[in-house]
Amino acid sequence: MLDWLRGRPERERLRAHGQRAGALVDDALGMPEARRRLLAAPDETLVSAAVVAASRAVGDTPFSSPGSRILTALSRKKLPFEADDVRLLLSLAAGARGRWFPPQIAPTVTIAEGWCGQHGTAGVERELRELMAVVLSHHESGSDRERTALTGRLRPGARDPADNGREKPRRSLTAGT
């Protein structure tokens, strides 16, 4: 399923994260008690779990994505992601294809927002642009609202529709890139 990562350095990083947290995530995908245990794991394990959950969500629909639910829960925690982790998460989200809007994009953007808020966008610009292109090109029905929200988070100078068209300062991942 992730053949498009073959030969890329991200593939090796994904394998390392899978060795660290793959079994925990696989257990948590089907059992709520295991999900609670996973969320109580050390931060380093949770970073790996986020990457593994994102990879498990590739190909899922929004209606049946336990991997995305785990990733969403982990995206709400302040975890010590490294630049390589954020690049991998963005690559996984950008590489996800399917009829429905890929469910791991929104929590990946949340993780990237937190990381970029601390470290800036240096080192993840290419992956941010790739994800923006995927979000903008997704034309399946039912995804307009989510696409609009995500482009607003990714695009510099996003306008708030509730602000009657006036520019409103907003934190944007791609600002300054």
Q: Which distant-in-sequence residues (6+ apart) come within 8 Å of 86 by Cβ?
A: 111, 112, 115, 116, 124, 127
Say whether pLDDT at 111 is over 90.
yes
Of residues 141 and 98, the one with the higher pLDDT is 98
Please provide the average confidence, as pLDDT, over all residues in the chain: 77
- Whether 169 has a pLDDT exceeding 90, the answer reads no
pLDDT in tens, 35-65: 889 999 999 999 999 999 988 877 665 556 7
Sign of the C-alpha dihedral computed for residues 167, 172, 175 and 177 taken in this order: negative
In which band, very low, low, confident or very high, does the pLDDT at 174 lie, cut at 50, 70 and 90?
low
More confident residue, 41 or 102: 41
Neighbours of 100 (CB within 10 A): 16
Concatenate the DSSP letters of all residues of 108-175 into one string.
HHHHHHHHHHHH-STTTHHHHHHHHHHHHH---TT-HHHHHHHHHHHSTT---GGGTT-------TTT
pLDDT at 17 over 50: yes
At residue 156 the predicted structure's pLDDT band, cuts being 50, 70 and 90, is very low
Output the pTM of the full model.
Answer: 0.78
Nearest to 73 by CA among 115, 29, 18, 117: 29
Between 61 and 138, residue with greater pLDDT:
138
Task: Work out the pLDDT band at 158, boundaries 50, 70, 90.
Answer: very low
